[in-house]
């Protein structure tokens, strides 16, 4: 490889030997595409005709008045096709896959957003598609599994380890070490071995580039602070990318605080003190691990943030102080989401709602001439089962019980089989 892929001490490419030529090929394709203005033009054209780019920024007037501090603006990544910023990365990697002449894509998914986005891309580009998803996530995200399968993807439930996102990533790598010749692994976040953290951030930088220009046009100045939730870190990297050369803009990443600090209770690698530097899944960063280096269980109300590692680029921004990292607890997240739904009619995903929590905390203490921008990375209406559980809505439960009775009556053979 030509490039080390390090961001100070973080990053690198800790890959099995069998994948070395595959990564060489990927790096070459990525660097060529990056140097080719026609590639980015094609990407932008695709995103403006297939997804909803440029996504708007929305002035949250009611929330602004509610907190009585900074003016709150929201970048609407939820308006992308498939309902999240994941589409940006996936369509970019789709173009790259075609450029490399590969015919099959594989991906990991946690909540299912990246899986749905990848299945969508595969359908559009005519690729075969296999999605690896932790068995726990398959159980709690049936609607996303349904759409992936409708789009022709094979969804493999991963039964190993903690049966969540990190195990799905391991399994995708196991597929890739066998099928690298015709298969591209469309990793869903700004993690993993080089060039993934940099490449995924590049595709997602479309968020920040648009947002910076939109703020200048609409508000006449840059935001004082920008907020994004951080799982692997791709939507945060996307937003932050637009403001890296603006030191006056504070970058705030918000991790999953779950039930609070203490290993196993959350997925906050940077905001809490429970993580340490390690090497797993092909890269060096902060991991929630024990002193032996074994990865530990994580918890979050949002499956999309429920991950042991974090983008090496964000780990570096944490060390250098370029970005500030906070954590939002499950309870705070549900409240922030409900408030946003009620005040603005916007439906931020539970993941995105983490960013809203910290933005709301800060906004109240800021002046009315100050401006903040929150990345609404995804929408929650497609996660209605999870959200209804988080809100604990009795009418929803009644509906599901009635629906289940109806299915049972019509399909007695399915009622006995049960399972997924």
Partner 1 sequence: MNKLEQYIRQQREQKELLLMTHIVLGYPSYDDSMRVVESMVEAGVDLMELQIPFSEPMADGPVILHANSEAIRAGATVDGCLEMAEKITAQFDIPFVFMTYYNILFSQGVMPFVENMQRIGIQGAIIPDLPPEEGRDYIAAMRTHGLSPIHIFTPNSSPQRMQTLAENSDGFVYTVARKGVTGKETQFSAELDGYLADCRAATDLPLALGFGVKTRADFDFIRGKADMAVIGSETIKVMEQGGVAAVKPFIAGILRE
CB under 8 A: which stretch of 13-21, 53-61, 113-121, 374-382 binds partner 1?
13-21
Among 18, 364, 391, 402, binds partner 1 (CB under 8 A): 18
Among 86, 114, 166, 324, binds partner 1 (CB under 8 A): 166
Least separation in angstroms between residue 249's CB and partner 1 is 34
Rule CB under 8 A: which of 170-229 touch partner 1? 170, 173-174, 177-180
Among 64, 183, 235, 281, binds partner 1 (CB under 8 A): 281
21 contacts partner 1 (rule: CB under 8 A): yes
CB under 8 A: which stretch of 9-17, 298-306, 372-380, 381-389 binds partner 1?
9-17
Sign of CA dihedral 159, 165, 171, 175: positive
Least separation in angstroms between residue 7's CB and partner 1 is 15
Least separation in angstroms between residue 375's CB and partner 1 is 29
Smaller CB separation from partner 1, 179 or 209: 179
Least separation in angstroms between residue 341's CB and partner 1 is 38
293 contacts partner 1 (rule: CB under 8 A): yes
What is residue 284's three-state secondary structure?
Answer: strand
Among 80, 189, 201, 289, binds partner 1 (CB under 8 A): 289
Is 326 known to be catalytic? Answer: no
In sequence order, what are the residues at sequence separation of 6 or more whose Cβ sits closer than 8 angstroms to the Cβ of residue 311?
Answer: 189, 190, 191, 197, 201, 230, 232, 233, 234, 236, 237, 285
Rule CB under 8 A: which of 242-271 touch partner 1? none
101 contacts partner 1 (rule: CB under 8 A): no
279 contacts partner 1 (rule: CB under 8 A): yes
Chain centre distance of CA 118:
13
275 contacts partner 1 (rule: CB under 8 A): no
2 contacts partner 1 (rule: CB under 8 A): no
15 contacts partner 1 (rule: CB under 8 A): yes
What is the per-residue DSSP string for 154-181?
EEEEE-STTSSHHHHHHHHHHHHHHHTT
Catalytic residue among 51, 75, 102, 108: 108
H or E element in which residue 354 lies: helix 350-363
Task: Find out whether 374 and 250 touch, Cβ atoms under 8 Å.
Answer: no
Helices 86-100 & 234-241, crossing angle to 10 degrees?
Answer: 90
Is 34 known to be catalytic? Answer: no
Structure tokens at 38: 């026609």
What is the per-residue DSSP string for 219-270?
TSS--SEEEEE-SSSHHHHHHHHTTTT-TTSEEEEEEEEETSSSTTS-B-SS
Task: Find out whether 252 and 227 touch, Cβ atoms under 8 Å.
Answer: yes
9 contacts partner 1 (rule: CB under 8 A): no
Task: Find out whether 122 and 129 touch, Cβ atoms under 8 Å.
Answer: yes
Least separation in angstroms between residue 74's CB and partner 1 is 36
Least separation in angstroms between residue 256's CB and partner 1 is 20
Chain centre distance of CA 406:
36
- Count of beta carbons in the 10 Å neighbourhood of residue 17: 7
294 contacts partner 1 (rule: CB under 8 A): yes
Sign of CA dihedral 102, 103, 106, 107: positive
CB under 8 A: which stretch of 112-120, 182-190, 203-211, 275-283 binds partner 1?
275-283
395 contacts partner 1 (rule: CB under 8 A): no
* 58 strand-pairing partners: 74
Task: Find out whether 73 and 57 touch, Cβ atoms under 8 Å.
Answer: yes
Smaller CB separation from partner 1, 24 or 405: 24
Chain centre distance of CA 216:
26
H or E element in which residue 317 lies: helix 312-320
Structure tokens at 342: 């009620």
> Taking Cα atoms as reference points, which of 87, 157, 166 lies closest to residue 119?
87
Least separation in angstroms between residue 174's CB and partner 1 is 5
Least separation in angstroms between residue 96's CB and partner 1 is 20
Residues near partner 1 (CB under 8 A), total: 33
Is 377 known to be catalytic? Answer: yes
Rule CB under 8 A: which of 135-164 touch partner 1? 160-161
Among 195, 223, 231, 282, binds partner 1 (CB under 8 A): 282
Q: Which residues bind partner 1 (CB under 8 A)?
A: 1, 4, 12-18, 20-22, 160-161, 166, 170, 173-174, 177-180, 278-282, 289, 291-295
Active site residues: 86, 108, 377
């Amino acid at each position: 490889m030509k490039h080390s892929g390090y961001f100070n001490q973080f990053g690198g490419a800790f890959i099995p030997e069998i994948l070395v030529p595959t990564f060489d090929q990927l790096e070459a394709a990525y660097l060529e595409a990056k140097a080719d203005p026609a590639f980015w033009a094609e990407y932008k054209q695709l995103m403006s005709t297939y997804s909803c780019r440029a996504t708007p920024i929305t002035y949250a007037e009611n929330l602004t008045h509610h907190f009585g501090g900074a003016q709150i603006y929201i970048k609407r990544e939820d308006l992308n096709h498939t309902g999240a910023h994941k589409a940006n990365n996936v369509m970019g990697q789709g173009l790259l896959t075609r450029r490399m002449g590969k015919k099959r894509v594989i991906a990991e998914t946690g909540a299912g957003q990246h899986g749905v986005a990848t299945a969508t891309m595969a359908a559009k580009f005519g690729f075969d598609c296999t999605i690896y998803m932790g068995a726990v996530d398959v159980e709690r995200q049936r609607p996303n599994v349904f759409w992936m399968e409708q789009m022709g993807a094979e969804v493999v439930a991963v039964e190993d380890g903690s049966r969540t996102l990190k195990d799905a990533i391991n399994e995708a790598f196991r597929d890739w070490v066998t099928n690298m010749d015709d298969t591209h692994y469309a990793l869903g976040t700004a993690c993993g071995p080089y060039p993934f953290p940099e490449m995924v951030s590049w595709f997602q930088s479309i968020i920040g580039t648009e947002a910076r220009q939109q703020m200048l046009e609409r508000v006449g100045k840059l935001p004082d602070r920008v907020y994004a939730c951080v799982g692997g870190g791709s939507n945060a990297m996307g937003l932050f990318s637009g403001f890296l050369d603006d030191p006056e803009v504070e970058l705030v990443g918000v991790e999953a605080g779950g039930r609070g600090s203490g290993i196993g209770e959350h997925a906050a690698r940077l905001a809490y003190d429970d993580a340490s530097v390690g090497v797993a899944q092909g890269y060096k960063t902060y991991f929630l691990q024990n002193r032996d280096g074994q990865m530990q269980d994580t918890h979050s109300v949002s499956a999309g943030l429920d991950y042991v590692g974090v983008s090496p680029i964000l780990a570096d921004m944490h060390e250098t102080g370029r970005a500030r990292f906070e954590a939002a607890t499950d309870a705070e997240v549900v409240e922030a989401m409900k408030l946003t739904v009620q005040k603005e009619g916007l439906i931020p995903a539970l993941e995105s709602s983490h960013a809203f929590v910290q933005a709301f905390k800060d906004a109240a203490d800021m002046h009315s001439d100050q401006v903040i921008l929150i990345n609404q990375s995804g929408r929650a209406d497609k996660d209605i089962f999870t959200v209804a559980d988080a809100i604990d809505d009795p009418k929803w439960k009644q509906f599901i019980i009635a629906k289940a009775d109806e299915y049972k009556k019509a399909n007695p053979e399915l009622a006995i089989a049960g399972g997924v």
